[in-house]
């Protein structure tokens, strides 16, 4: 497969990147780490008139505290998320999710914004952001808007970004008192996309689950929050989780070369329970 010729441009700011997207009228794509875009171009799945390089933009990097939240720049690399002391302390679920992305080579090049904008429903970071109830900030260089995670990820590889919009940062809540987290996934090989992944946040009170957020990846067109399971867990104790959780309803996992839909359905319950159990254990340790 040979690449179709394309124009290469480099933007110094996000505003310049948005202007470049407008100038090519839908024929341009952004590149930062290239871990998703370049394989798709090499396979002929994506053809572009121009590639706009934003890898050297400095305004969208790193994590900082922001009034009870963490604000993380979209150009923060996976390896930085994995190792950043502030992220590991204030929102360890996100650091754990980043640690499961691909190989060290991928994590050293790939970016948070690239993964979220690619919106693969089996990817770790969209899953973690859904569990965290994150808010995405996007800009077209003229104005900025905030988009809840549930509205950003639309379906397979599709987001609510406009053609001239750039994801600039993500705002996630800190892990508060009484909360614990869990993240588990099953893949065919270390570094592969997950067959099924699960993320959980649990708040305990008096040894019982007071509040929870449980999300699955790899079983639907976007990360799937399990509202029914969350309701059934309210009031449960750590040793009572599996008895409270029945079959996972509302999912129709696909069959592909990695796994059957039936196997994915089985994994969904197993991994969701396991993620909640891990979250409970961490909440008890932190109490």
- What is the structure's pLDDT at 166? 98
The pLDDT of residue 153: 98
Instruction: Determine the pLDDT at residue 4.
Output: 83
pTM of the model: 0.95
Q: What is the pLDDT of residue 1?
A: 60
User: Taking a C-beta distance cutoff of 8 angstroms, is the pair 114, 207 a contact?
Assistant: no
How far CA 224 is from CA of 26, 209, 251, in Å, comes to 29, 21, 9
Domain spans in the chain, listed from the N-terminal domain onward: 7-52, 63-173, 179-286
Mean pLDDT by 10 residues, the chain (287 residues): 86 97 91 92 90 95 94 98 96 96 92 97 96 98 97 97 97 94 93 92 95 96 95 93 86 88 95 97 90
Query: So what's the pLDDT on residue 267?
Result: 95
User: How would CATH label the architecture of 179-286?
Assistant: 2-Layer Sandwich (3.30)
Neighbours of 232 (CB within 10 A): 17
pLDDT at residue number 192? 82
Task: Give the C-alpha separation, 271 to 53, whole Å.
Answer: 38
In this structure, which CATH number among 3.30.465.10, 3.40.50.2300, 3.40.50.410, 3.40.50.300 belongs to the domain 63-173? 3.30.465.10
- What single DSSP character describes residue 238? G
* Assigned architecture for domain 7-52: 2-Layer Sandwich (3.30)
């Amino acid at each position: 497969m040979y690449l179709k010729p394309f124009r290469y441009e480099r933007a110094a700011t996000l505003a310049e990147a948005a202007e470049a997207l407008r100038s090519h009228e839908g024929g341009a794509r952004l590149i930062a780490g290239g871990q998703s875009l370049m394989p798709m171009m090499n396979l002929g799945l994506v053809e572009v008139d121009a590639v706009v390089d934003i890898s050297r933009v400095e305004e969208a990097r790193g994590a900082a505290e922001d009034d009870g939240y963490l604000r993380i720049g979209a150009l923060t690399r996976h390896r930085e998320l994995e190792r950043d002391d502030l992220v590991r302390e204030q929102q360890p679920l996100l650091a754990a999710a980043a640690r499961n992305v691909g190989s060290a080579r991928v994590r050293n090049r790939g970016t948070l914004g690239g993964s979220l904008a690619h919106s693969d429903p089996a990817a770790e970071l969209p899953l973690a952001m859904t569990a965290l109830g994150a808010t995405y900030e996007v800009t077209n260089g003229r104005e900025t808007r905030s988009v809840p995670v549930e509205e950003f990820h639309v379906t397979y590889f599709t987001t609510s970004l406009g053609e001239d919009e750039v994801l600039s940062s993500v705002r996630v809540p800190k892990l508060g008192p009484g909360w614990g987290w869990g993240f588990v996934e099953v893949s065919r090989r270390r570094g592969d996309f997950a067959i099924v992944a699960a993320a959980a946040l649990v708040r305990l009170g008096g040894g019982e689950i007071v509040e929870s957020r449980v999300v699955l990846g790899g079983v639907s067109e976007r990360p799937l929050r399990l509202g029914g399971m969350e309701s059934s867990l309210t009031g449960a104790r750590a040793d009572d989780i599996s008895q409270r959780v029945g079959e996972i309803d509302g999912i129709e996992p696909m069959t592909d070369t990695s796994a059957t839909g039936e196997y994915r359905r089985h994994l969904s319950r197993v991994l969701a329970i396991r993620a909640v159990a891990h979250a409970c254990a961490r909440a008890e340790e932190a109490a």
